[in-house]
Amino acid sequence: MSAFGFPLAGLLATGGNFTTGNVSAVAGLGNDTRFLQISAPVQPGNSGGPLLDQSGNVVGVVASKLNVLRLATATNDVAQNVNFAIKTSVLTNFLEANGVNFTIAASGQPMQSADIAERAKDMSVLIVCEQ
């Protein structure tokens, strides 16, 4: 699986970043089944970006990463690549509840990473919230 987003906007590439990883667990913190645990690196700015399968289909939305500083304080260990994405089932329920039309695609042929990255870039936009 692959993730796309705009991590550390203003510091890293302005066109977005594409990274790959794996699904590490089918539940999030506290066994929260709305989430997948993923190993793709996540930074501030990745949230809201698509999580894609090998066919370039959206299978989730990047949501968060584990707070490693808080965990290190509690356990004296630094966790690595513990990140989370919202599952497709949660996304489709949200879209249906809000009257948003969407299409569920059949899994297609595996694509090259560069092609998946281009598809992800075409469906993504940077949104900056000023405080």
Which pLDDT does position 49 carry in this prediction? 94
Give per-residue pLDDT as tens, 97-129.
Answer: 999 999 888 888 999 999 999 999 999 998 887
Edge-first strand order for the sheet with 50-52 is: 17-20, 2-5, 50-52, 58-65, 83-87, 35-38, 23-25
Domains and CATH numbers, the chain: 2-122 (2.40.10.10)
CA 21 to chain centre: 10
Q: DSSP characters for 74-114?
A: HHS----S-EEEEEHHHHHHHHHHTT----PPPP-----HH
Under DSSP, is residue 116 helix (H, G, I), strand (E, B) or coil? helix
Q: What is the pLDDT of residue 71?
A: 84
Q: How far apart are CA 37 and CA 13, in angstroms?
A: 25
CA–CA distance, 44 with 1 (Å, rounded to integer): 19
Show pLDDT as tens, one digit a residue, over the chain (131 residues): 999 999 887 777 788 899 999 999 999 999 999 999 999 988 888 889 999 999 999 999 999 998 888 888 999 988 888 999 999 999 999 999 999 999 888 888 999 999 999 999 999 998 887 87
Residue 44: the pLDDT is: 84
Give the predicted TM-score (pTM) of the model.
0.86
Specify the pLDDT at position 83: 94
